Structure 1
């Protein structure tokens, strides 16, 4: 059954029109016919099963048949990612969503190659939101990860609330295995640097914010790869990666 994210009022109502982009996908790409059923999610836990009534000039009309609430059982991971080149962040958002990351915080650090203007930030955020939404739909996540606006590293660190905070830094770092607790943490913040890595000043700033510098081994991973590697490990140890099917 096809799945889509839609506004919350549509999931809560009895009948309504699907968003234009969803209707276009139904009619032009999937070529669904009236009478077929869909799964609709608002991205915050509300879900419903709906029947497609009609596809016409007004759009795609559906009737809600059944409602329920959805939850996720993976480890909540907040990825604080120093802004890499534009196409690389798109990969981070797509694959990070698939790996169960719950919050994305792109940040500007000293050695970031990309330094977007305010106008470009707004346009990029719209595109990034679409990438996250489509990745969540494709991998069948019922909840949408939160995508924060681009912020400075200092602001992102100051607003961090996760109890376990890890900074991937190849200098003066302990192996990841040495700092992971035996019991699952309630949430993890994962700080990843840009292509040129963190400066000493930034590393000290992160330390003062409670982040533990860790390394993954003898190989230096790319900025867009490092977060995937650690997220996979964390979800396997503490989350739902590899869990038996429900």
Structure 2
């Protein structure tokens, strides 16, 4: 069944209508017609089974047949990602959505190749959010991650956000596999972490000063293997491993199995 996105406030309208862009895709690409049933996701936990009432050129009119409230994951993962250039950042945002990231924080590192001018920030964020929407429809998640405006590592650290575990992808010899940190946390707390943050650097990695600042704030260095990965590969690898660890040992209410 085809999936579409409609913001929460638009879902409350009677009747709800898809945007012009979504309607065009539905009518001209997917060939949706009246009486067809489609799934609408609002990115805030609702999955709506809808019937197409009217297939107009600029607005597909719907009738909600059934509403399913999908609970969020029992944990939240924040990706603090140095802005990658070109399509790489869109790929990172897309895959982070598919892998269940709760929040994506783009970082302007001193070594970031793709610097973002203040005037270009709204357009960049809009493009990244569009990537999360496309990924949402593809994977069927009911929850959109929050994509923040780019900021420096120092500015993010100054906010003092707290997490059960914070990692930084590292090539340092002392970096450990994420599993070791998860096992230590579970052993000490007798529960799985509920909030995890992972920092992924740009091409050439974060500067030594940035790494020291992140580690001074409590981040634990993790290894992603013996090879040097592209920034986008490192982000996907990190989120995949973190998700596996969070899901594999979790029982009801976040307690260990």
Query: Structure 2 matches for 1:1-246, cutoff 5 A?
Result: 1-57=1-57, 59-73=59-73, 75-159=75-159, 160-176=161-177, 177-180=179-182, 181-182=185-186, 183-239=191-247
Structure 2: how far apart are the matches of 1:61 and 1:90?
A: 30
Structure 2: how far apart are the matches of 1:47 and 1:117?
A: 37
Gaps of 5+ in 1: 241-246
Per the alignment, in what secondary structure is the counterpart of residue 16 of structure 1? coil
Deviation at 1:192, TM superposition (A): 0.7
Per the alignment, in what secondary structure is the counterpart of residue 91 of structure 2? helix
Q: Aligned in 2, Cα 1:84/1:58: closer, same or farther, shift over 3 Å?
A: closer
Deviations 1:119-177 (A, max 9, x none): 22222211111111001110111111111111111122233322200011212532123
Structure 2: how far apart are the matches of 1:127 and 1:82?
A: 16
Taking structure 1 as the reference length, the TM-score comes to 0.91
Gaps of 5+ in 2: 249-257
After TM superposition, the structure 1 stretch with the greater mean CA deviation from structure 2, 63-72 or 30-39, is 63-72
Per the alignment, in what secondary structure is the counterpart of residue 226 of structure 1? helix
Structure 1: how far apart are the matches of 2:123 and 2:170?
A: 31
Taking structure 2 as the reference length, the TM-score comes to 0.87
**CA RMSD between the two structures:** 2.1
Per the alignment, in what secondary structure is the counterpart of residue 17 of structure 1? coil
Per the alignment, in what secondary structure is the counterpart of residue 49 of structure 2? strand
Give the aligned length.
Answer: 242
Match of 1:244 in 2: none
